[in-house]
Amino acid sequence: MQEPVKAIFTECIQTQIAAADQLQEPLMRAAELLVDSLLRGQKIYCCGESMAHASARHFAHIMLTGLQFERPPFPVNALHADLGASNHESIFAQQILAVGQPNDLLLVLNAGSQAPRVSQAMQAALSRDMLIIALTNDDDQDIGGLLGAGDVEIRIPSRNSARVSEHLLQLVNMLCSLAEQQIFPQEDQA
């Protein structure tokens, strides 16, 4: 029974090493875009497809409440995923169309290959001249093609949805930490 457990740990470590090599530059660009949006007073919206939605909600929570120290809340809202909505696939897009403004930021997350709700939200954000940060994976077929020149994609080097989900949580924690460090550098030195 120990061999399957060891294999899972090994796969996690290999994904971590590949991510450390490949994601530094896009992560820094995403953090800069996030900080720039916050400093200009823009709103941040986030959503995730399927099991990635929990990481999107986590991102909104830590951006509101703080991750490393007590600070004022950042204006971040997780779009809600009402499964009982009459048009379930457009639920995120409807929210963006209702409140999104030019230069606001949409953070999207996808742990699988398909992302119909997130794709529609991205199309709505593009129609509102919003910027997008996309956390995707090597199996993504929907999101990457919708990004513009000013947008940022952080593509997790894995097709395994469990490994991708682990990295989504880690990446949203990193984005919040980087934003806090850049906006409140005095706290980072304390």
pLDDT digits (tens, 9 = 90+) for 35-54: 999 999 999 999 999 889 99
Q: Using 50, 70 and 90 to split pLDDT, how confident is the model at 84?
A: low
Residue 77 β-bridge partners: 45
Least confident stretch, 23-37, 60-74, 83-97: 83-97
Going by C-alpha positions, the residue among 77, 27, 84, 87 that lies closest to residue 57 is 77
| Mean pLDDT confidence for 58-68 | 95
pLDDT, position 164: 94
| Mean pLDDT confidence for 79-89 | 73
Estimate the share of the chain in helix, then strand, then coil, as percent rounded to the nearest 5. Answer: 55, 15, 30
The enclosing domain of 29 has a CATH number of 3.40.50.10490
pLDDT digits (tens, 9 = 90+) for 92-104: 999 999 999 999 9
| Mean pLDDT confidence for 146-170 | 94
pLDDT, position 15: 87
| Mean pLDDT confidence for 55-72 | 95
Domain that holds residue 142: 2-188
Quote the distance between the C-alpha of residue 94 and its chain's center.
19
Structural domain count of the chain: 1
**CA–CA dist 121, 137 (Å, integer):** 18
